[in-house]
Structure 1
């Protein structure tokens, strides 16, 4: 993970959506990868850190709960 905060994972989502005619159900795995990356980002940088690729910490927690 770079200091850019999960940019590669966010780009992977865009690429997946493009390859799959924007069928989000086919990109679930790459979305989960982004969430895991963002979780590590906040663990390492603290919850006050910001990344343009990651949802805010409280939104991330909700998203990860929904994906279980």
Structure 2
């Protein structure tokens, strides 16, 4: 399922959030092994906010301002 479809689910981005939980369980809760899944959730949530506005809400997504901060931190870590 692509990011566009994930934003249309109820709640938005639920499959991305579940993928993180599955990854954490499989990796004995080593968060660094689930970076790809976390990044996919952030991408989905970012798309969700672009579609619905900064005041939108999903139990699967951090608040808009926190999401932007997390994305910025991730990009700095990758640089």
Give unpaired runs (5+ residues) of structure 2. Answer: 1-5
Normalising by structure 2, report the TM-score: 0.83
Q: How many residues align?
A: 68
What are the Cα deviations for residues 7-57 of structure 1, in whole angstroms up to 9, with x where unaligned? 000000000000000000100000000000000000001111100000000
Give unpaired runs (5+ residues) of structure 1. Answer: none
**What's the Cα RMSD here?**
0.7
Equivalent of 1:4 in 7, 11, 19: 11
Which residue does the alignment assign to 1:56? Answer: 63
Q: Please identify runs of 4+ aligned residues in structure 1 that moved more than 2 A.
A: none
Greater relative contact order (CA < 8 Å, ≥ 6 in sequence): 1
